[in-house]
Amino acid sequence: MIQLSEKQWAAVVNLEPSYLRARSILNNDWQAIVLDNPLFVSYITVADLQFASQLAAAKVVEQPTNQLVSFAQRQVVRRRLAPFLSSEAKTWLNREDG
């Protein structure tokens, strides 16, 4: 199991935006982030995806709707969240396993 850093745990405990964004990715609830500020489109970044992946691996978010482990799982996330992905995030999701 992956260990989170102190900074990452602080984000979880304090419900910081980085945690809320990562949790929204895992729970397929990015609309909650968008609706929080409808005048500004918030794109998903590589950092968001990496933190989400770490949260899932550490089992901080149990039974996430979206998984980011395999290539096939990342493609599901890419399709579900396509309008909100930055170009870098799309590239990260398209990387090969290994």
Let me know if residue 32 belongs to a domain.
yes
Report the number of distinct structural domains present in the chain.
1
In a domain, 70, yes or no: yes
Q: What is the pLDDT of residue 36?
A: 78
2 located within any domain: no
For residue 7, the model assigns a pLDDT of 96
User: What's the pLDDT at 25?
Assistant: 97
Tell me what pLDDT residue 52 has.
96
> pTM for the complete prediction?
0.91
Q: Which parts of the chain sit beneath pLDDT 50?
A: none
Indicate the burial class of 24 (C-beta count within 10 angstroms; 0-12, 13-18, 19 or more): buried
User: CA–CA separation, 85 vs 98, rounded Å?
Assistant: 23
1 belongs to a structural domain: no
- Domain-embedded: residue 98: no
Structural domain including 33 reads 7-93
